[in-house]
Structure 1
């Protein structure tokens, strides 16, 4: 069997090799990180111990070892490793790959087909893998940075186990840095604080860290560089953020829940993370207004006005000054009293409206502009509330066939505390009026 990791060819021994390539693990035991799937009790550890490898979807951010793990799985299971990218592969290319895998299988060897960026294949292309997965022609290992449940067909998902790869921790990145220093035969000429800053710049991406280390080791420096000197020479890596992908929804969810949880510091952090990622402040303004309506509502009616004014301020000032107005709205919302009583009442009322169908209003609250409508009883018995004691008649305003429900149940927080007193006051008057009429 050819050695998949043999790079001793005449052209490759003379050509410079990137540090990331030189440090590529030669066995799964050498992989840094992902112990939750590679350990003895992890899914891959169990599969390899049993000698049965199923199709997999490796889901995780860039630079955490998806391609490396796929290569090593093929090596350790004696499967032929075939790698394609969904970006560059079309239907004719897929046919050639499947035909080669069939021929290989006839000769007694299986194929591990690694598909990078598998989420970029359309539905028809994804469906083309199914028969070859089912008859054992290929073991599919797909890699994706996007949520598979959003991007992959249900048929693929049902035939492959999804394994979630995690960003490398600071400790794991430090191990990788030590391995790089050993390979290069020298240490990074950085202060302890600058070394930590370098590791943090990688943002959990091992490949990025090795590229940064390679740059730093190439510098000719005297005294160890401090953080300021390091950051002047290196650009901090942009945070992972896709305004149309899952990360967008993850961060707005984190912001919303931090506001709901009355944590202004966390809310400001996630708000800032989205701005740093390039999010449109107008989108954030819309979402802040939604938070005011959904989670604060009548506990603090001013919250909606604060959000609208912040939005208007942003439209007049633009970035970056207008973003401060939105940040102040974030703080206000986080510290405002919270209630979802109006939201719950609205949903309950909508549900009751659907169930009650076309029940008409009671005739006493209908107008009677014609004599025929008066003859039909429209408006008969209507009590004008301003003429009633306390300005409250206590009449029934629901359909005659409908038992009176209670949708709105205000909480004892913020301004809604006052509204709770009012609802209880009117409920008491209504009971009193109804008792006197019976």
Structure 2
């Protein structure tokens, strides 16, 4: 049932005074009244269970205002939020709280609620077995929605009604989705991990869930492009181009026709060979770049457009690769004090197998021409 009902039951079973406010409609003045009343009651030896709905709407200062009253014991705080409390609530408040997550009701619980509705009405729902299963599915794990659907079904004439008629005549529970809240981040995480886990069916399901919930398809297109670069990488170089093409197709067609292009990209990315080797290589290169930001390039690869620069050795000894055998001179292009680094380690999956073979061949040539040995000295 509802969060408020749970809080009321806790207060009743604990012998506490129940007080309820909503963070949407309450401010400092309302909080002060609640705290003053709770303090006065506490002096008589009785505590107050304060239920705060949408507690994440309070700012940090307001959330901090609960702490002294919680520490004296005058207030037992029960807060409800649809956001992730790790991000929406102060650390000090969280450290004094126990976090309980309310999960959707399972099928057995929904059917039990339908039976209670029948007992309360004194008659059976005018549905057949398939229709009863359809009612439970339409509730989507929401007990209040199940009771509302049962009430609406009891008002239908005739029967027994099946799934098709119930679907046409009753309102299905609205999808739970907040484009800026916890559901948004949870579902995009599910989509990303389904693609990374090479499951096209799950990827299509989560993509459909987000689109039906009203997510901006352009956001989904950007995330698919990121997946192509981060999780597929050079194991399939076509993946990034296909993801970009899916975004451009959506921009051309819009919804709903353009949604199919996003679905195509999601399925392709899920089935593509996976490699984060380039992602890891670039992070390692970024770390070195931060630590050695002051090191200049080696003099032999710097241009020397003036006589003074030539006299200082700029460009001296540079070998033009196109003039070398195999168009490869084997010279070092890292700062002299840094030495050669090996960041990129291709996998043996997909196209990266070919990339690895190319790198091994170039490493052998570099060693033969006086550079670092083929084993990649200075790897990182």
Q: Mark yes or no: TM-score above 0.5.
A: yes
1:231 maps to 2:167: yes
2:331 touches 2:371 (CA, 8 Å); kept in 1? Answer: no
Distance 1:260 1:386 in 2: 40
1:356 maps to 2:292: yes
Q: 2:273 aligns with which of 337, 359, 380?
A: 337
Report the secondary structure of 1:407's partner residue: coil
Q: 2:115 aligns with which of 174, 178, 183?
A: 178
Distance 1:269 1:76 in 2: 42
Give structure 1 stretches of 5+ with no counterpart.
Answer: 1-63
1:70 maps to 2:28: no
Report the equivalent of 1:158: 95
Q: Which has the higher contact order (CA 8 A, sep 6+)?
A: 1
How far is 1:390 from its partner?
Answer: 2.0
Distance 2:12 2:174 in 1: 34
Report the equivalent of 1:417: 353
Report the equivalent of 1:132: 69
Cα 1:169–1:239 shift into 2, 3 Å: same
Report the secondary structure of 1:163's partner residue: coil
Give structure 2 stretches of 5+ with no counterpart.
Answer: 374-380
1:324 maps to 2:260: yes
Distance 1:310 1:105 in 2: 62
Distance 1:108 1:391 in 2: 88
Report the equivalent of 1:220: 157
Cα shift readout 1:301-327 (whole Å, capped 9, x = no counterpart): 111221222222211111111111111
Cα shift readout 1:99-128 (whole Å, capped 9, x = no counterpart): 111121122211111111211222222222
Report the equivalent of 1:274: 210
2:126 touches 2:156 (CA, 8 Å); kept in 1? Answer: no
Distance 1:388 1:180 in 2: 85
2:35 touches 2:69 (CA, 8 Å); kept in 1? Answer: yes
How far is 1:197 from its partner?
Answer: 1.1
How far is 1:400 from its partner?
Answer: 1.3
How far is 1:183 from its partner?
Answer: 2.1
Distance 1:176 1:401 in 2: 73
Report the secondary structure of 1:161's partner residue: coil
Distance 1:311 1:134 in 2: 53
* TM-score, length basis structure 1: 0.82
Distance 1:237 1:74 in 2: 30
| Paired residues for 1:231-310 under 5 Å | 231-310=167-246
* TM-score, length basis structure 2: 0.94
Report the secondary structure of 1:142's partner residue: strand
Distance 1:180 1:236 in 2: 18
Report the equivalent of 2:334: 398
Distance 2:339 2:244 in 1: 39
